Each structure stands twice: as structure tokens, then as C-alpha cells.
Chain A
Amino acid sequence: MTVSSVAMHMSDGIVNAPVSLLFIAIAIAAVALCGWRARAELDERTVPLAGLVAAFVFAVQMVNFPILPGVSGHLLGGALAAILVGPYTGALCITIVLVVQSLLFADGGVTALGTNITNMAVIGVAAGYGTAVLLHSVLKRRNPGSVPLIGAISFIAAVIGTVCAAMGFVLEYAIGGAAQASLSTVAAYMFGTHVLIGIGEGVITALTVMAVVRARPDLVYLLRSGSRTGAEVPA
């Protein structure tokens, strides 16, 4: 077995076959739901952005950044995609990236696709986007449409999304791992490293979202969804 691997994705065999199958079923159900609900998020104006966001997440996931001596991390992209193109479309973006990585680039196991999609596309997006919506609805009245505010919200959403995605792995390992390592050790290590990775993820997410908000605020889903409820979203 070779150890070299590029991205933060589970390999095949880390969790046993029944649990892998369970999470494949969960991932298929989640992706089907997202395909259904994404119809309300996508129109001819936003389809190009959604396609580019998927391609952008693929590119940025290649760039591992150091977080500790001998340990790196990379963007997961759930909060970034969801803030820009909506949670259901965003989850589909991450799913497509994971499928391309696994089938074409041998990055992330094939039978582990269910767990990887559940962690990064479902949990990461849900936690990241949920955090962003919550903060945005509380803070936008005070400072509506402020670009630095959107950046700060994006940063926090990305940190939370990354840590929650990492905890998804801990859950799957707890249910279906062979338990060479104690669960509390794995959980503590995953939490600590992914807080640091989340800070990197937060910086990339904030810079990207702020750049899009400056250029085309009309395309940003988090701002569009706010305006639907009657709030002012200045240009």
C-alpha cells in the first residue's frame, strides 16, 4: 500500500463494507433531493456561475496548504459554493468535484464516495450554509450589504462547515472503523487539525465571496435569498 495521497478524502477500506454501503445510500438520497430542490436555485443567469464554482472548487482543492509541521489541509468548499450558488446547487457542485476526483484522479476511494459526499457535500454545506444564513439574517439589518460583513460571515461559515465535515468522518469511523485507534484520540486530532484547516478555508472562502460580491452582487445566492424576504440589498 502506498501512502501518498493528495486530498483530504477517505480511502476505500477505512470503514467496513456495510457502513460504506449505508453512506452510499444516504449520499444517493441526498443528491436526488438536491437535484430536485436545485431547480428553484438555477436559472439561465446562474447556471454559468454554478458550473464555474464547481470548477473553481476542483482547482483550489489541489492546493494543499501547511497547517502544522508535516500536516497540510485544503479547501473543502461547501460554504463557498452554497453562499455563491445556493445550498442544493452547492452540494451538487461538491459532489461533482468528488466524483471527478475519485473516478478520474484516483483521489478518494470509490466505495468511500458515499462517506466523502456525506461529509463534504452534505454535512459541510448544511453546517456552513446554515451558519451563513443565521449570521446574515441577524447582522444584515445593522449593516446591510457591507462587503466586509459578508466576508466575515463567509469566514465563520467556512470554519464551522469544515469542522462539522471532519466530525462526519469521526462518526463514520465510530460506526464502521476497525478501531485500531481510540475514538476519542481520533476525534480530538480531527477536531484540532480541522480548526486550523478551517481557518485556511475561511480565508479562501471570504476572499472569493468578497470578490464576487464586489463584481456581481446580483449573482450571489445568499444576498438574493435575503432580498426575497424584503430586505434591502444595495449594489
Chain B
Amino acid sequence: MSTQASPKRSWTFWAGFAIVTLLIAGVVSYFASSSPDGLDSATLQGCEVVETADGEELTGSCIAQDATDHHMSSSPLADYSIAGGENTGGIAGILGVLVTLAIAGAAFWVISRSRSSKD
């Protein structure tokens, strides 16, 4: 295939992909459903979630009762917030996108270099 994209078209593609990604993490994420997902609701089968003074508790018998507190629950970005702040999910999401891009970009660059240095 010889579709070498023109420089302008190529620039539009990369900018568009990046902007869409940032908009999803920074804006669309506010509209996400807060219901437990398929796996979480499977682990909650048999339990009822009861609000108590100490937060939510599980009554009954279910898989989720085995879950332990997260090792990183004191991370400043825990649960997609900035230090637990209200409505900071979008900023946390954008930070996550940038961190993921940096780590993945660096890892894939190193992997691609390891081949060309051998050839």
C-alpha cells in the first residue's frame, strides 16, 4: 500500500486522535455510569449494600466481602480524583492519559530501537 499521507493530512490525524482522547478523559468521563460494572455486580450477588456511619457495608454473603482495601487507596489520584476533590475526575483523567502516553511512548520507542540496533 502506497498511501503515504500528505504532511497536512497526517498532522490532522494525529492532532484529531489526541484531542478526541483528551476530550473523552476530560469531558465525556463526567457522563459515565456510576453503577457497578459487570464484574463488580457479579461479586456483589447475594449481598446488599447498606449505608452506615462508617460508609457502605455489605450484608449477606458475596464474593466482594473478600476484597481488601486497595494498597494505593492513599494515592493522590485514587478513584480518579485529585486528592479526593469533588468533580476533579476530568483533570485526573487527563493526567492519566498523559502519564499513559508517556510510559507507552517511551516503552514502545525503546522496543522499536532494540530491533534496529540489532539489524
Interface on A for B, CB 8 Å cutoff?
A: 1-14, 35, 38-40, 42-44, 46-48, 50-56, 58-60, 62-67, 70-74, 89, 92-93, 96-97, 100-107, 109-111, 166, 169, 173, 177-178, 180-181, 185-186, 189-190, 193-194, 196-197, 212, 215-218, 223-224, 227, 233-235
Contacts and interface: CB of A to CB of B under 8 A. Distances in A.
Nearest to B13: A215
A39 B42 contact: no
Given A104-B99, A217-B1, A60 B39 contact: no
Contacts of B112: 39, 42-44, 46-47
B44 to A, nearest CB: 7
A194 B116 CA distance: 41
Interface string B90-119: 001100111111011101110110111000
B25 A58 contact: yes
Interface in B37-70: 37-46, 49, 55-58, 61-70
Contact of A13 (B31, B68, B75, B103): B68
Contacts of B55: 2
Contacts of B3: 216-218, 235
A95 to B, nearest CB: 10
A111 B22 CA distance: 29
B101 A100 contact: no
